[in-house]
């Protein structure tokens, strides 16, 4: 297989780099932590560029907001978002909500998808933690900490019901309250959703709902890994840049073996993660049966790589890297939060092992 990006993808990469450079989350995240600004939300601009709806239609489809795109296209964009610690809702919206909604025949789903792609509705996908759908069509229970839950207007989740699992949508309000989490990484806008009789719209039910949920979760794992790839790359770049200018004991610190080894190790992890992200993204269209395993592998490796690279960034900067005034801690915060999203690193590796063993068992029986 050819892992080279196409000319169109390279152009998309350049456009995304310019966009997220102008809408960086680094300065905004610091301002949020300092209490001097609210978290920015470039949702409207993303919608205008067609980036929210990259996965709303098959690649090349006519008549869509984005003319269709692939998961690799979205991964290319997400990497640039991760470099800037962007608060843009790529993971929650373009990489998770849109795959959940795309192709559903339910009128409520198609209407919501159209609003989401246009940036008219802020939506978040919430992993349930005991969410139940009552016979009267209302939701009770709570969710796990949800990316962009603190600024969502509508949530999507998978609820248990007497008739089986159901993919549902609910509007935030008095009966569906978002409780913001302490802003360890403010750019993720994490919140827990507490449901107490919230009216729900059922979008899919039964096995089809579960299959759609699992597939969208695999896509979200790839998008998260792609964002982490960008964060790892920027951490390495900043570390190398500092090591090439900072002097200690009469020489550049980049000449010290311990510093060189740490940066090279982080760079190797970046390139290994890139291969996994591109493989997983490619498989979504070319080999969809392999997506669960490849997305799990990319997600598991990303958890370790982003934590390691952001650690190295702080350590290479020495004493100044531990200060509030330096930006290194903002990258460290992103690394610590991302390694716990969509399951922690232990759960991610367990999923890889489970899927690999299942594949090996199937091949053995064949």
Cβ neighbors of 92 (< 8 A, separation 6 or more) are 123, 124, 125, 146, 147, 148, 152
The listed CATH number (1.20.1200.10, 3.40.50.1820, 1.20.140.10, 3.40.1370.10) that belongs to domain 209-365: 1.20.140.10
CA distance 109 to 114: 9
State the CB neighbour count (10 A cutoff) for residue 164: 12
Give the list of residues 6+ apart from residue 84 with CB closer than 8 angstroms, or none: 20, 21, 23, 24, 25, 26, 230, 234
> Minimal CA–CA distance to 100: which of 89, 112, 88?
112
18: exposed, middle or buried (Cβ count in 10 Å: 0-12, 13-18, 19+): exposed
Domain boundaries, the chain: 209-365
Q: Who contacts 117 (Cβ-Cβ below 8 Å, separation ≥6)? A: 47, 52, 53, 56, 64, 65, 66, 98
Q: Nearest Cα to 99, choosing from 226, 276, 285?
A: 285
Alpha-carbon distance of 289 to 114, in angstroms, equals 28
168 touches 139 (CB < 8 A): yes
- Encode the chain (366 residues) as per-residue pLDDT tens digits: 567 889 999 999 999 999 999 999 999 999 999 999 999 999 999 999 999 999 997 654 444 444 578 999 999 999 999 999 999 999 999 999 999 999 998 888 999 999 999 999 999 999 988 899 999 999 999 999 999 999 999 999 999 999 999 999 999 999 999 998 888 999 999 999 999 999 999 999 999 999 999 999 999 999 999 999 999 999 999 999 999 998 788 888 888 989 999 999 999 999 999 999 999 999 999 999 999 999 999 999 999 999 999 999 999 999 899 898 999 999 999 999 999 999 888 888 999 999 999 888 877 666
Q: Which residues pair with 252 in a beta bridge?
A: 247
Which residues touch 62 (CB under 8 Å, ≥6 apart)?
Answer: none
**Phi then psi for 164, rounded to 5 degrees?**
110, 180
C-alpha of 214 from chain center: 15
């Amino acid at each position: 297989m050819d892992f080279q990006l196409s000319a169109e993808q390279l152009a998309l990469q350049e456009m995304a780099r310019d966009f997220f450079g102008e809408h960086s989350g680094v300065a905004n995240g610091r301002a949020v932590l300092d209490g001097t600004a609210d978290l920015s939300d470039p949702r409207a601009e993303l919608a205008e560029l067609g980036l929210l709806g990259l996965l709303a239609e098959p690649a090349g489809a006519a008549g869509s907001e984005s003319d269709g795109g692939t998961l690799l296209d979205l991964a290319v964009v997400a990497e640039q978002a991760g470099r800037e610690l962007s608060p843009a809702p790529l993971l929650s919206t373009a990489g998770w909500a849109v795959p959940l909604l795309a192709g559903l025949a339910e009128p409520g789903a198609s209407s919501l998808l159209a609003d989401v792609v246009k940036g008219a509705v802020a939506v978040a996908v919430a992993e349930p933690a005991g969410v139940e759908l009552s016979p009267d069509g209302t939701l009770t229970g709570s969710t796990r900490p949800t990316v962009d839950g603190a600024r969502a207007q509508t949530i999507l989740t998978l609820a248990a019901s007497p008739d089986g699992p159901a993919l549902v949508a609910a509007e935030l309000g008095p009966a569906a309250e978002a409780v913001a989490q302490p802003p360890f990484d403010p750019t993720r806008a994490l919140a827990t959703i507490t449901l107490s009789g919230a009216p729900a719209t059922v979008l899919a039910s039964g096995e089809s709902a579960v299959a759609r949920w699992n597939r969208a979760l695999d896509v979200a794992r790839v998008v998260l890994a792609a964002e982490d790839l960008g964060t790892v790359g920027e951490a390495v770049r900043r570390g190398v840049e500092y090591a090439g200018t900072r002097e200690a004991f009469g020489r550049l610190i980049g000449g010290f073996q311990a510093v060189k080894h740490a940066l090279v190790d982080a760079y190797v992890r970046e390139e290994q993660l890139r291969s996994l992200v591109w493989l997983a993204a490619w498989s979504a269209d070319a080999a969809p049966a392999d997506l669960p395993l490849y997305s799990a592998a990319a997600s598991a490796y990303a958890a370790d790589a982003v934590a390691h690279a952001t650690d190295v960034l702080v350590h290479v900067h020495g004493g100044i890297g531990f200060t509030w005034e330096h930006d290194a801690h903002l990258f460290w915060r992103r690394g610590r939060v991302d390694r716990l999203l969509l399951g922690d690193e232990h759960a991610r590796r367990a999923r890889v092992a489970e899927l690999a063993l299942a594949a090996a068992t199937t091949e053995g029986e064949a």
